[in-house]
Structure 1
Amino acid sequence: METYQLWNVNFLNQILDTMAEGLFTLDDHGTITSWNKSMGKISGYSEQEAVGNTCSLIECSQCFGKECPADIAKCGVIKHGKTEAKECFIRHKDGHDVAVIKNARLARDENGQILGIVETITDLTELKKIKKTAEEAQKKLKKAYRLGNIIGKSAVMQNVYDAIRAAANSHATVLIQGESGTGKELVAGAIHYNSAGSSNSLITVNCSALSETLLESELFGHVKGSFTGAHRDRIGRFEEADGGTIFLDEIGELTPYIQVKLLRVLQEREIERVGESKKRKIDIRIIAATHENLYELTQQGKFREDLFYRLKVFPIHVPPLKKRREDIPMLVSHFINKGNKRENKSINGIDSEGMKRLMEHPWPGNIRELENAIEHAFVICNSDRISLRDLPVEIRETDRNLAGALPVTDLNQTIVCTPVKAVKLTKETLLVLLEDCNWNKAEVGRRIQKSRTSVWKYMKKWGLPLQKD
């Protein structure tokens, strides 16, 4: 019997010594009575050094949220019978702290008498290293595949990221060129928010949305009485951006008069409010953007050549989506995550047939069109994956000639506006398109392969209201 008990104890000790976790026991006086090999590796103290000492040897950083009392009578384990597993630090024999998870249980005999305390220590050192490595890898991945809200891993997008970082480290004027819907405003934001002046304002002005008079007042401000309706002094957008960045979108739409005034701002870094002769110095970074070819406009005499060269100190070209198709899966995943948060849904992807069609589509509306396509799918999709039938009709039927077709009605979806490339745009045609597209000017623009701004200009030219009555 004694031989069996001795064998049993030896076997138990071997089990404890093969454990990856550190384990030690305390008697009812708080003295360490056993110490397995893993505790030696974690703490640096051998069994001979530990047994007979109290647990204050390892200087645990917290016991029930407090420093260890090193007094068994005051130990929280005695009162509560156990401690919940918690992250803390113990002091290694060499003096450095070791991150661990600590757990303790009170042991009693069949009569309820205290036998002692069993404590386990899990070393988090390797786990912390793995976690840190994973976080660093994730940061590198994000740095490589996105900048701000811009997403993409293609070679052309890596060039854009490099240009953004270079522009952010300088105060030079930047000209962003690219088709409508490619994300030029996101590029402008990335430049500003990665620059030294990121804590200052980023002011955005759409140069095509206002008439010449209103745009002049918007940019430069005005003084009271300078024109009918000027009932008080008003600060302009240039002054609002003082110390920060102003983003002038659709710069190609500026009239000759505003071009001259902007050239003065670029040259002198000063402005005059409308109706005032006082010069006001401003310290701003100017970022301009256009979907048009400014060089061609200068050759046609529609844009000042000297202004063009002042603006293109540091040009950045944003590629169309058809030139970076390998980014489509990443963009789709991003828009699905965005849609899930917005609509409180749990869509976890798109099927292979739907993705194939997205990869094949010519994307005249670029990323904006892709985002709208995923939003459209969210309205229709009633499963956990988007399928081909959930996508807009012009994407589902990419290979069919839909020019001039009537709106398509489906039992599962609302009326969708279809391309009308072959139809000459007239006031009447535009009105029909606006009705079919629920007066969504961006949607109309995609169907006729023109920008939203161009649609707005046609509406203004033909006297159509900007919103449905």
Structure 2
Amino acid sequence: MTVSRTDPSTSPDPRISSLVLESMADGVFTLDEKGRITLWNPAMARISGYRAEEALGRGCGLLCFSHCLGKKSPTSFKECGIYEKGRVDAQEYVLRHKDGHDVPVLKSARLVRDENDRVIGVVETVTDLTELRTMQHQVAAVSRRLGELHQFGNIIGKSHVMRQVFDAIEAAAASEATVLVSGESGTGKELVAGAIHYNSIRAEMPMVTVNCSALSESLLESELFGHVRGSFTGAGRDRKGRFEEADGGTVFLDEIGEVSPLIQVKLLRVLQEREIERVGESKKRRIDIRIIAATHRDLFDRVRRGEFREDLYYRLKVFPIQVPPLRARKEDLPLLAGHFIGVQNKKTGKAIRSISAEAMRILMDCAWPGNVRELENAVEHAFVLCSDAEIDVFDLPVEIRQVEYRPFPSPDPAPAGAFRGRRERPTRESLLDLLRDCGWNKAEAARRMGMSRTAVWKYMKKYDIPLKADDR
């Protein structure tokens, strides 16, 4: 934008211009040629929390815009992307309010030049998106409650526990907080991380995934932080690490509980300072990333045993999300099975419509130690054998059909009265005690025993135990 001289007789009254700025709902501020704030309207004070007298004369870095044109809080005006690009058109960012919370905004900016093409400043406008985001979240939540939406990104579910996960994902996506996703293997922790990233303001920037358990300490250090030429045998050139590759976006650290003490120390620095050093050099490099970590382990237990740093643990679990195991959301199983049938139909060209009632009963009775991933594999196995329009019992994997011999996964502590051991048979007295403890609920008794309800009924018949307590 170029400023030229105008006829004074046609120039607007300065008082009118001032009233326009004061009445605008959008924030407006200007910078001079050195990047100092020269104008700050009332809406800008409302959105940012900074009064005009606090902002004037300072740089726009006080707003801490997220990934601002590829840079975070440039150290000088000439480093700012607007100086090179000349304009920004309605881009979504997050600014940091004076009291510390994040505010989603829509920002536009123009570089201002005089008639000699000399830069004399910048004009920026900021629109607060907080109310819009709140309304979007409310609409999504209402839709799920009405049963109209059972999916968030690639995550499927309509159970109460999954609605809680969806709400947590929405809250995490609307903030810049570090997230720790916990859950057993196969529950979909990486899908949760992806849903957070792709529904956040960083969605257009990269999401980089690193499996911390797949690499040795030295390889993981190089993978995360990069290295310089000659820093170790085989380092023939400088290489960016995953943190630098994700600048402006999100790094997903899967299986964070497996990292060594050295990597824990270096990760703590990244979380605290948002700075990294490549292996083999001492130069500090600023990065603008959001970190999401995941683990199937009980990290707090590892902290108590001295295997994981307590300060890192609390830095990671600023916003924890617990992904439930499949056995805790059995009502989602038909929905998930139907989804996987659709996926396999497209992949194989078959036209399987559903699962038989008996096969579905077996699926519902299964303990699913491998969770959703195991269910997906079971459906894929069934597609290999099924030649009809409906998946039947004998199309399922043999271990799924033998549910009475399937224990529950070890990470969950066994409830009071639970039977231990793969094929342990209850006595009449122990089964009666368990039924009383479960309020005569056969399904709950079967869950604690790691057997199917059919097996419980067989034992009840064998021991002449009535189906109801008041029948005795």
Pick the TM interval, shorter chain. 0.5 to 0.7
Alignment partner, residue 398 of structure 2: 393
Amino acid across the alignment from 1:162: D
Alignment partner, residue 272 of structure 2: 267
1:125-168 deviations in whole A, cap 9, x for unaligned? xxxxxxxxxxxx99987873110000000000000000000000
SS, match of residue 191 in structure 2: helix
Q: Does the aligned pair in 1 maintain the 2:405–2:422 contact within 8 Å?
A: no
The answer for the alignment partner of 1:204 in structure 2 is 209
Separation in 2, partners of 1:249, 1:398: 31
Q: Match of 1:208, as an amino acid?
A: S
* 2:310 aligned partner: 305
1:144, 1:158 within 8 Å by CA — same for their partners in 2? Answer: no
2:369 matched to 1:364? yes
C-alpha distance in structure 2 between counterparts of 1:272 and 1:306, whole Å: 20
- In structure 1, C-alpha distance between the alignment counterparts of 2:240 and 2:320, rounded to whole Å: 30
Bigger Rg, which one: 1
Distance (whole Å) between structure 2 residues aligned to residue 287 and residue 142 of structure 1: 29
1:317 deviates by 0.2
> Aligned residue for 1:178?
183
Which residue of the partner structure matches residue 374 of structure 1?
Answer: 379
**Cα 1:421–1:277, aligned 2, differ >3 Å: closer, same or farther?**
farther
User: Is contact 1:169-1:196 (8 Å) kept?
Assistant: yes
Q: Provide the C-alpha distance between the structure 2 equivalents of 1:381 and 1:224, rounded to a whole number of angstroms.
A: 55
In the alignment, the residues of structure 2 paired with residue 326 and residue 157 of structure 1 have an alpha-carbon distance, to the nearest angstrom, of: 10
- Aligned residues, how many? 271
Per-residue CA deviation, residues 30-53 of structure 1 (Å, 9 max, x unaligned), is: xxxxxxxxxxxxxxxxxxxxxxxx
What one-letter code is carried by the residue in structure 2 that aligns with 1:310? R
Q: Does the CA-based 8 Å contact 2:151-2:157 persist in structure 1?
A: yes
Spell out the pairing of 1:320-469 with structure 2 (5 A cutoff): 320-400=325-405
Partner SS state of residue 180, structure 2: strand
The alpha-carbon distance between structure 1 residues 215 and 421, as it changes in their structure 2 partners (threshold 3 A), is farther
1:220/1:271 contact within 8 Å kept: yes
Given candidates 227, 231, 237, the residue that maps to 2:232 is 227
Unaligned segments of structure 2, at least 5 residues: 1-141, 409-420, 424-472
- Corresponding position of 1:239: 244
Are the aligned partners of 2:352 and 2:391 in contact in 1 as well (CA < 8 Å)? yes
Unaligned runs of 5+ in 1: 1-136, 404-419, 423-469
CA distance in 1 between partners of 2:313 and 2:260 (Å): 13
Question: AA paired with 1:382?
Answer: S
Q: Deviations over 1:47-95 (max 9, x none)?
A: xxxxxxxxxxxxxxxxxxxxxxxxxxxxxxxxxxxxxxxxxxxxxxxxx
Contact in 1 for aligned 2:144/2:158 (Cα 8 Å): no
The change in CA–CA distance for 1:192 and 1:393 in structure 2 (over 3 A counts) is same
- Judging changes above 3 Å, is the alpha-carbon distance between structure 1 residues 218 and 196 closer, same or farther for their aligned structure 2 residues? same
Secondary structure of the residue aligned to 1:383 is coil
In structure 1, what residue type is equivalent to 2:250? T
**SS of aligned partner of 1:215:** helix
SS at match of 2:391: coil
Shift in CA distance, 257/139, structure 1 to aligned 2, threshold 3 Å: closer
Question: Following the alignment from structure 2 to structure 1, what is the Cα–Cα distance between the partners of residues 200 and 143?
Answer: 23
Query: Which TM-score applies when normalising by structure 2?
Result: 0.56
Q: 1:79 corresponds to which residue? A: none
One-letter amino acid of the structure 1 residue matched with residue 182 of structure 2: Q
Task: State yes or no: 1:188 paired with 2:188.
Answer: no
Would you say 1:160 and 2:165 are equivalent positions?
A: yes
Identity %: 66
Asked if 1:169 is matched to 2:174, the reply is yes
Quote the Cα distance in structure 1 between the aligned partners of 2:378 and 2:280.
47
Q: Whole-Å Cα distance in 2 between the matches of residues 194 and 264 of structure 1? A: 27
What's the TM-score, normalizing by structure 1?
Answer: 0.56
Give the whole-Å Cα distance in 1 for the aligned partners of 2:301 and 2:359.
Answer: 39
Partner AA of 1:274 in structure 2: V
Residue identity opposite 1:300 in structure 2: R
Separation of aligned partners in 2, 1:301 and 1:139: 42
| Partner residue in 2 for 1:146 | 151
Structure 1 residue ranges, 4+ long, deviating more than 6 angstroms after superposition: 137-143
Residues 196, 143 of structure 1: alpha-carbon distance in 2 compared, 3 angstrom cutoff: farther
Q: Describe the shift of the 1:169–1:361 C-alpha distance in structure 2 as closer, same or farther (beyond 3 A).
A: same
Tell me the amino acid that sits aligned with residue 357 of structure 2.
Answer: S
Alpha-carbon distance in 2 for matches of 1:189, 1:402:
31
Amino acid corresponding to residue 189 of structure 2 in structure 1: K
Question: Residues 192 and 401 from structure 1, CA distance in 2 versus in 1: closer, same or farther, beyond 3 angstroms?
Answer: closer
Q: Is the 8 A contact 2:165 2:322 kept in 1?
A: yes
The question of 1:291 aligning with 2:296 is answered yes
Match of 2:437 in 1: none
Q: Distance in 2 between matches of 1:155 and 1:402?
A: 25
CA distance in 2 between partners of 1:181 and 1:253 (Å):
17
